[in-house]
Structure 1
């Protein structure tokens, strides 16, 4: 099973009001294992970068002016995505910008049936908890100390680790008994396998019981032997 974890950085919050995607980072998983294959690109948004957005990701007008247009990189991106399921954190936001860019260069939009939203998964798995990427990294013990600002590829790499943990973690495929819960994400039904170790019973063997009795009988006047028993 091939899945792509991806993240975007943008000029703002809404592509319908003219905001554009300026960065995308993608990480490939095969059977929930990172292959090392990634896709990363910056894009010239052909519009000024608002100061509030630049404060989040650090991408300014001067840097982005020298980057290619999305339309010149779209073929390489679509080839990398292929027909894989696409995993993102607050996925409708990222899908919205990706599909807006595809529309602008007269390409088919990506079907939302391919969308897996890790925010929705986190709300199901951890109701009432914080569901930001930082909060989930803390919950699953994932090092995010190098995340000073948002970056599409870095965030996709962190999200890949979070997604692996939320869908079974390092125990995937090791044969432990598992409890399966169904998480419905957008229009996709995702099975999340939570490893459950079978109950182990411990009983002393006859030889161990015999050695224990001999040890007790060898004790020199233990206090409990003559102590009165309270009713």
Structure 2
């Protein structure tokens, strides 16, 4: 199963500039953007009906859709299906195989650091996890009872879920998470030097009140958590 991040944009050139300043490789500029950090792909969609979410590719979705229709509304599209989970992230199910591929290279080439997957805040963890299980994801960490859980597909793409009132900072559904440990202050410095606007400077987890975690957003509103752990 291939997995892409799918982000809308009000201005394709502006979004491409955002990712280029963060040292993502530009694979395509038109009619839609495609960028990578060497480990995952982001499709930048300028269509006015595009919404933030993910794209999943498979030869057939019929079995999954039969399960999904018991959990949420599933819409038929020209190239597959569209649904949302309780976090309201849009999930595009595309029939077939995409021409775009990336073989994970380990260390990220982007300024953002180590990609840890998609983060979602859900008002119904049980239904969210049931939906992603129907999509072929399996439990990799945490538990619903703990209020935090992570799921992963066969290609290693991770989606983590938090219950409400867990995260003491702004939370944009969906958001990409990057964990950089003690190196995060250096990562934050590079992001500032690249001229990327900081949506939130987080000091909540630092006893000395130092900004050691930040949140940024791309021009289409996709969130990025740049955290130390």
Q: Could you say whether these structures have the same fold, taking a TM-score greater than 0.5 normalized by the shorter chain as the test?
A: no
Which is richer in helix?
A: 1
| TM-score normalised per structure 1 | 0.28
Q: Which has the larger radius of gyration?
A: 1
Relative to its length, the structure with more strand (as a share) is: 2
Superposition TM-score, scaled by structure 2 size: 0.28
